[in-house]
Amino acid sequence: MRLLFFLSAFIWGIQAQSQVVNPEWATSAVWYQIFPERFCNGDTTNDPIVATLKGSYPHDEQSAWQVHPWTSDWYALQPYEQENKKNIGFNIQRRRYGGDLQGIINKLDYLKNLGVNSLYLTPIFYAPSSHKYDAICYHHVDPYMGPNPTKDIATIATETPDDPATWHWTEADKLALQLISEVHKRGMRIIFDGVWNHMGIENLFMKDMVAKGEKSKYANWFYIKEWNTKGDMNMPFKYQSWFGVKELPELREDENGIVSGPREYIFNCTKRWMQPDGNVSAGIDGWRLDVAYCISLKFWSVWNAYVHQLNPQAYTTAEIVDPPLEVKKYLDAGFNAVMNYNFGFAAHDYFINQTLASNAAQLDAKNKEMLKIYGKSMYVMQNLYDSHDAQRLASATANPDIGHFAEWGIFFGMTQAEHNGNYNSSKPTPEQRRTQKLMVGYQICMPGAPMFLYGDEAGMWGANDPDCRKPMVWADKQFDAERTDPKGKISRNDGVKFDTALFSYYKTWIDLRNQNPVLSQGTYKLYAAIDTAGILIIERTWKKETVYILINRSEKDYDLDLKRGSKGNALTKLKYDMMLGTNPLLSDNKMGTTYKVPAKSISVLKKR
């Protein structure tokens, strides 16, 4: 109790930062999001067993089960699945493919070659689901992500879960530290996913509550509505869960945020992974915070201050899907950044929607709004189009005009193939791939740190959750064609293989950003636009360097005539070298300059 008192006093003594200082590395970050269970199975000896499903939806450990074939047709039910007579939605949630930490370590050189330099891992802590947002605990990596699950589970059982003095480094924990070390050896950064709002129903603290009831020392950790009454999931009490998802009981909050007890546990876990055995260089480089909007800003102010006290070069980013003014509150609470869905919202309306499309002035207004409200933080924002909670970019291009991405709740359901019978879940066409490429170029060239979802560069496609979480497509694996549609019918024959050309395209544009600070640090200006032709010219300037980004979102080539003395004279009176793209220069003479801007293209020109 004395230890808890002193730690609690220490936490409350932390002062919120008066001004957040962004880490030096974050401006030049190129992010890559990994969903570990679906990225790479690097060690088949630790593959999950059916018992590991306990506590996760759809709560079926009795039906036939096996580790799912990595290369199988996504919507096709395997023989073991057909036995339970349930639909594809039910069975996808039971699937485990065996992705693990060794798999990520094995693919670090692939990521280094791609050019990304910052990794965001969705949760790897002990949890029963494939997504692991239903933690059993935060201080241990899932044993089935490491080399010796049986030993790790036995080790964890010897500990007092809220007492760091009793914690050990399990084999899975040690492998996580090895992963961090290997990332750092390659000059890269890595952040973990912190899920502080809720845990899973198998969490160690609720287990104690089940055994001891109101006498449990953890009795005040969660919202208990009524004791000694049967609740959800056969619990002997009724509890509050996250948005009614019964597998996710919420940690209790008061006027200051998460209450004492779980608060100290969270802070101890934060330190454990940022300063393992007191060594900050061996720890993670920051955190992504799940459903940050569900936790008090007061809590975030103190927690962020603690994180940056542990490591002044740490980076914290929040999951927020609200408009920029609301986002600003989280920056004021000490976050360096957010997952910048607002960037994706604006780009989706401009590049993907057709009848619902925005114009250049509207896109520019959104960009200026973010720059004005976020200030310097704009340059470290995670600019993304997709994630484990959104349809993949490739599939977004195949589904224009189903709504506005910014209308999060409605759009979420409309982009799930299970809930929208008209959703196009087929392999994107070459024309749709051109839109994807155009958007990748735009993402690279804009203020903010681009973030890619694993496999986008390999050609993966998929509707929203769960279809955006398919197993990674690797060049050394031979995949079954996707012949089955979401309704279980054989209606297509979409070949699945690693897209070497698309990988090279991503790599080329990422290299461009990595080699040219003007793209990561430069000012932004919409130089000119021709809406009738889908033409944008964006100007980026850093120090004495200026580049122009020529974009054509339309399906037709366009001859852009820039006369001397016209609005475009900055592009005509100076000599430019093509940095990347299709060289659009047709002519350059005393009358002016003519550029042919190809359909669905992006080019970058740099002053000599």
With a cut of 50, say whether residue 2 has pLDDT above it.
no
Q: What is the Cα–Cα distance from 98 to 39, expressed in whole angstroms? A: 9
**Can you say how many angstroms the Cα of residue 93 is from the centroid of all Cα atoms in its chain?**
20
Distance CA 68, CA 97 (A): 5
Task: Please state, in angstroms and rounded to a whole number, the distance separating the CA atoms of residues 443 and 505.
Answer: 13
Share of the chain above pLDDT 70, in %: 92
* Least reliable range by pLDDT among 5-9, 35-39, 58-62, 130-134: 5-9
Query: Which of 54, 203, 93 lies closest to 140, judged by CA?
Result: 203
Strands 189-194 and 224-227: unpaired
- Residue 226's alpha-carbon distances to 166, 223, 232, 245, 345, in angstroms, are 32, 9, 12, 18, 42
What is the pairing mode between strands 535-542 and 576-580? unpaired
CATH number corresponding to 2-218+270-506:
3.20.20.80
Q: CB under 8 Å to 209, separation ≥6 — which residues?
A: 216, 218, 219, 221, 222, 224, 237
User: What is the pLDDT confidence band of residue 16, given thresholds at 50, 70 and 90?
Assistant: low
Nearest to 541 by CA among 523, 519, 514, 515: 523
Over residues 219-223, mean pLDDT: 97
pLDDT at 373: 98
Average pLDDT, the chain: 93
Give DSSP secondary structure letters for 504-557.
Answer: HHHHHHHHHHHH-HHHHH-EEEEEEEEGGGTEEEEEEEETTEEEEEEEE-SSS-
Instruction: Quote the pLDDT of residue 236.
Output: 96
pLDDT digits (tens, 9 = 90+) for 152-190: 999 999 999 999 999 999 999 999 999 999 999 999 999
CATH architecture of 522-607: Sandwich (2.60)
DSSP 202-234: T-HHHHHHHHHGGGSTTTTSB-EEEESS--GGG
**pLDDT score, position 608:** 67
- At residue 575, the pLDDT reads 55
Question: Rounded to an integer, what distance in angstroms lies between the CA atom of residue 200 and that of residue 473?
Answer: 30
pLDDT at 20: 81
Q: Which residues of 259-270 are buried (b: 16+ CB within 10 A; e: fewer)?
A: bbbbbbbbbbbb
DSSP 351-396: II-STT---HHHHHHHHHHHHHHHGGGGGGSEEES--TTS--HHHH
- Is the per-residue pLDDT at 205 higher than 50? yes
Cα 132 to the chain's mean position, in Å? 14
Question: Residue 607's pLDDT is what?
Answer: 72
Q: Say what the pTM is.
A: 0.95
Tell me which H or E stretch contains 8: helix 2-13
The pLDDT of residue 592 is 60
pLDDT at 426 over 50: yes
pLDDT in tens, 566-598: 444 445 544 556 677 766 666 666 556 677 889
Supply the pLDDT for residue 606: 83
> What does the pLDDT look like over 336-362, one tens digit per residue?
999 999 999 999 999 999 999 999 999
Rg (CA), the chain: 25
Domain edges within the chain: 2-218+270-506, 522-607
Q: Which residues contact 62 (CB under 8 A, 6 or more apart)?
A: none
Strand boundaries in 299-456, DSSP class E: 315-318, 337-340, 382-384, 449-453
Q: What's the N-to-C CA distance of the chain in angstroms?
A: 68
For residue 53, the model assigns a pLDDT of 98
Q: Is the pLDDT of residue 215 over 90?
A: yes
Average of per-residue pLDDT across 141-157? 98
- pLDDT per residue as tens digits for the range 43-66: 999 999 999 999 999 999 999 999
At 467, which amino acid appears?
A: D
What kind and span of H or E run contains 326?
Answer: helix 324-332
Identical topology for domains 2-218+270-506 and 522-607: no
Give the model's pLDDT for residue 6: 43
pLDDT in the model for residue 585: 61
The DSSP-derived string for 549-606 is: EEEE-SSS-EEEEEETTSTTHHHHSS-EEEEES---EEEEETTEEEEEE-TTEEEEEE
Q: Alpha helices of 123-276 — where are they, by DSSP H? A: 149-157, 171-185, 204-212, 262-274
Question: Distance between CA atoms of 324 and 366, rounded to whole angstroms?
Answer: 9
Q: So what's the pLDDT on residue 588?
A: 60
